[in-house]
């Protein structure tokens, strides 16, 4: 739906009484074009911000009370808390994300001397792997920064979001999602070296193609174990490789170096995880070079190779997303398609020629439903700006 900010303010006034002194903000979700599970392995990523994301309304209070309401979880009603109660709990549900940001602000010496009334609304499909959690984190950080007058850069807001998700929410994610939400730029993807946080904006010029996101409408839990397992397996591989080659991260290796030293990783599972991290990092570098050279065909082939690696070596895809990718590869006019995001469900991202978009949606959608009894959702997306105030 098109989001009407004035309607959000009306809802705020209905919930909390009046809408004077309220401010509205937006932080986008993201799709990663290529470079998956490289962000915590010292590699490169290539995400872009979307025009869907999370909206927030904030008004400071005179006491330490927190009142939080999400239009996406309206059955929970207004969740009341306090700045004295910034601890994670299952009962807190979605509010663990904004509370985690407040906790991180305090931990970093940014003292919140007053509470706030907050309203949120997100138009990112739940469980889609398009970073609704990072969007909510960056949004909360931006609202707090502006409301309390803290001198914090957008890069630092991304780092605060990552720290919060790692240490308050128990999800051992890398920096990519928060960075893309905070630092996105319209019509550009961000070529980010996650080891150094050096980045450049690369215009995404697809003169005859569109980015299409396909939501499998399947979500296998991320926070539970598998994502954190992959990180631990990668770290084990790194330690083994460091006994034979001087590297700080898996992203330091070329494909040739990995093949030379890979036998140091005796565990075959850890070796596969390292192979993905190394090869995916190099694929991402080559993909950006191809995009800059307007070689969209090569860009698409690298996207396909990324999916195969995520399926076979990193094992973060699933039957449904594998099916979506394979169906896409068989549609004429699809230049590339792969799973995107943390994995275990969620979405695929495809580069589809303009005159094939309708056929792609119809063909893939029909075959997917026939094979799974699940209805996929398709979004032809635009690349938007990073988090910002709306008024």
For residue 2, what pLDDT is reported?
64
**Is the domain of 245 the same as that of 367?**
yes
**Is the domain of 140 the same as that of 192?**
yes
28 closest CA partner among 165, 147, 179, 159: 179
**Is the domain of 138 the same as that of 273?**
no
- Please count the CA atoms within 13 angstroms of the CA of 242 that sit on its side-chain side: 11
Tokens matching residue 10:
């009306």
**Is the domain of 137 the same as that of 222?**
no
Q: Using CA atoms, how far apart are residues 373 and 353, in angstroms rounded to an integer? A: 27
Confidence of residue 278 (pLDDT cuts 50, 70, 90): very high
Long-range contacts of 157-160 (CB under 8 A, 24+ apart): 157/182, 157/387, 158/182, 158/183, 160/101, 160/104, 160/105, 160/108
Q: Is 46 helix (H, G, I), strand (E, B) or coil?
A: coil
List residues bridging with 25 in a β-sheet: 56, 389
**Is the domain of 109 the same as that of 178?**
yes
For the chain, count helices (H), then strands (E): 11, 13
Concerning whether 267 is annotated as a catalytic residue, the answer is no
**Is the domain of 164 the same as that of 307?**
no
**Is the domain of 58 the same as that of 178?**
yes
- CATH number of the domain that 124 lies in? 3.30.230.10
What is the arithmetic mean of pLDDT over 373-382?
94
Structural domains in the chain (count):
2
- CATH number of the domain that 302 lies in? 3.30.70.890
What is the arithmetic mean of pLDDT over 344-360?
95
**Is the domain of 234 the same as that of 193?**
no
**Is the domain of 262 the same as that of 159?**
no
What is the arithmetic mean of pLDDT over 179-203?
96
| Contact in structure between 240 and 270 (CB atoms under 8 Å) | yes
What is the arithmetic mean of pLDDT over 294-300?
94
For residue 126, what pLDDT is reported?
75
**Is the domain of 178 the same as that of 259?**
no
212 closest CA partner among 303, 282, 312: 303
List residues bridging with 266 in a β-sheet: none
Q: Is 229's pLDDT higher than 60?
A: yes
Q: Which domain holds residue 184?
A: 5-203+385-389
**Is the domain of 189 the same as that of 108?**
yes
List residues bridging with 27 in a β-sheet: 54
Task: Give the burial class of 367: count Cβ atoms within 10 A of its Cβ; 0-12 exposed, 13-18 middle, 19 or more buried.
Answer: middle
For residue 222, what pLDDT is reported?
56
> What would you measure as the largest C-alpha separation in the chain, in angstroms?
66
Confidence of residue 303 (pLDDT cuts 50, 70, 90): very high
**Is the domain of 120 the same as that of 213?**
no
What is the arithmetic mean of pLDDT over 338-358?
93
Q: How many residues does the chain have?
A: 391
Catalytic residue among 63, 85, 146, 177: 177
Confidence of residue 51 (pLDDT cuts 50, 70, 90): very high
């Amino acid at each position: 739906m098109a989001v009407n900010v004035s309607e959000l303010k009306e809802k705020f006034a209905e919930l909390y009484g009046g809408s004077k002194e309220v401010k509205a903000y937006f932080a986008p979700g993201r799709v990663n074009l290529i470079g998956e599970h490289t962000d915590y392995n010292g590699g490169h990523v290539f995400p872009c911000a979307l025009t869907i994301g999370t909206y927030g309304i904030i008004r400071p209070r005179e006491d330490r009370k927190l009142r939080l309401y999400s239009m996406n979880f309206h059955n929970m009603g207004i969740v009341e808390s306090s700045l004295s109660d910034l601890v994670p709990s299952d009962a807190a549900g979605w509010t663990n994300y904004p509370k985690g940001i407040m906790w991180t602000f305090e931990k970093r010496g940014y003292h919140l001397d007053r509470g706030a009334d907050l309203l949120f609304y997100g138009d990112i499909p739940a469980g889609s792997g398009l970073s609704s959690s990072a969007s909510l984190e960056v949004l909360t950080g931006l609202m707090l920064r502006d409301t309390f007058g803290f001198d914090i850069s957008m890069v630092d807001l991304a780092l605060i979001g990552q720290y919060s998700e790692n240490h308050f929410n128990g999800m051992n994610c890398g920096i990519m999602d928060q960075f893309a939400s905070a630092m996105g730029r319209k019509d550009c993807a961000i070529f980010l070296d996650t080891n150094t946080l050096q980045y450049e904006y690369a215009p995404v010029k697809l003169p005859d193609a569109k980015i299409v996101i396909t939501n499998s409408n399947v979500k296998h839990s991320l926070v539970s174990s598998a994502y954190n397992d992959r990180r631990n397996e990668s770290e084990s591989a790194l330690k083994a490789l460091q006994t034979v080659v001087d590297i700080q991260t898996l992203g330091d290796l070329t494909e040739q170096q990995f093949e030379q030293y890979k036998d140091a990783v005796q565990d075959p599972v850890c070796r596969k995880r390292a192979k993905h991290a190394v090869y995916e990092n190099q694929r991402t570098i080559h993909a950006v070079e191809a995009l800059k050279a307007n070689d969209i065909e090569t860009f698409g082939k690298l996207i396909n190779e990324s999916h195969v690696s995520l399926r076979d070596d990193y094992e973060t895809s699933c039957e449904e997303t594998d099916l979506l990718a394979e169906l896409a590869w068989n549609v004429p006019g699809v230049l590339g398609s792969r799973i995107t995001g943390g994995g275990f469900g969620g979405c695929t991202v495809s580069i589809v020629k303009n005159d094939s978009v309708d056929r792609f949606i119809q063909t893939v959608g029909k075959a997917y439903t026939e094979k799974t009894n699940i209805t996929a959702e398709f979004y032809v997306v635009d690349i938007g700006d990073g988090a910002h105030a709306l008024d």
